Amino acid sequence: MIIYPIGFLLTLTFFKYFGVKIGFDYDEWSKNEWYDDYESNAEAYLVFSVAWPLTMTLLIVIGTWALLRVLVDLYLDKTKFP
């Protein structure tokens, strides 16, 4: 598991020193006064606002279905005829 943090740090170091040469300029945002884009934030807010209720509804339906299957299996195992 130690390889993941090492790879992450190596990637960050590589992009810090060689990123501009290969076309990744992550420091460009700091040269502008305002680096944030309202449209992207509004779109992200919309996606998160819609995705969470849909995800929770889907998880509740799947969880209820799985719980019912387990309860029915337990009931059928207890009521087996000899």
- Are the C-beta atoms of 19 and 26 separated by less than 8 Å? yes
pLDDT of residue 34: 59
Q: Let me know whether 30 and 58 are in one domain.
A: no
Domain that holds residue 29: 1-35
Number of domains the chain is built from? 2
Q: Let me know whether 46 and 76 are in one domain.
A: yes
What are phi and psi for residue 26, nearest 5 degrees? Answer: -80, -10
Q: Let me know whether 2 and 30 are in one domain.
A: yes
- Are the C-beta atoms of 15 and 26 separated by less than 8 Å? yes
Q: CA distances (Å), 23 to each of 11, 18, 19, 27, 74, in order? A: 15, 9, 6, 12, 60
pLDDT digits (tens, 9 = 90+) for 49-69: 788 888 999 999 999 999 999
pTM for the model: 0.44
pLDDT digits (tens, 9 = 90+) for 14-55: 888 887 788 776 666 656 655 555 556 666 677 777 888 889
pLDDT of residue 27: 63
